[in-house]
């Protein structure tokens, strides 16, 4: 089923960018993502939620929704917890390889 999940997880470059922002900075709000990317990211966020890679949760006393990665995200990337993500101290090529397996090479699904 993991292979099936990976084949169904093709994402646009924009969705991959948003996913990496969430993964490395979670929890964060949609407006935080827009500040980082300087562009509306609602389409990419909706895609990530629909695919089950990200979820919106109330994680603070202000009751505002924050985006976090899911267990499916961990499964798809073959890691047991978020701390297993490659860090900026590690080789950039390793980080690129880690996320590139979900990028849709044909440029479809532009979010």
CATH level 2 (architecture), domain 2-79+89-100:
Orthogonal Bundle (1.10)
Q: Is 1 helix (H, G, I), strand (E, B) or coil?
A: coil
Q: Kindly list the domain boundaries of the chain, sorted by start residue.
A: 2-79+89-100
Residue-wise pLDDT for 29-75, tens only, equals 999 999 999 999 999 999 999 999 999 998 777 778 899 999 999 99
* pTM recorded for the entire structure: 0.73
Higher pLDDT, 87 or 50: 50
Preceding omega of 27 cis (within 30 degrees of 0): yes
Lowest-pLDDT range of 5-9, 59-63, 107-111: 107-111
Count of beta carbons in the 10 Å neighbourhood of residue 9: 20
């Amino acid at each position: 089923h993991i292979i099936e999940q990976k084949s169904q997880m093709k994402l646009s470059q924009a969705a991959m960018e948003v996913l990496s922002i969430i993964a490395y900075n979670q929890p964060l709000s949609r407006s935080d993502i827009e500040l980082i990317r300087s562009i509306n990211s609602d389409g990419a966020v909706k895609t990530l939620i629909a695919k089950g890679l990200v979820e919106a949760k109330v994680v603070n006393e202000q009751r505002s929704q924050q985006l976090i990665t899911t267990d499916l995200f961990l499964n798809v990337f073959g890691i047991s917890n978020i701390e297993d993500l490659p860090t900026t101290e590690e080789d950039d090529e390793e980080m690129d390889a880690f996320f590139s397996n979900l990028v849709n090479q044909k440029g479809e699904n532009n979010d």
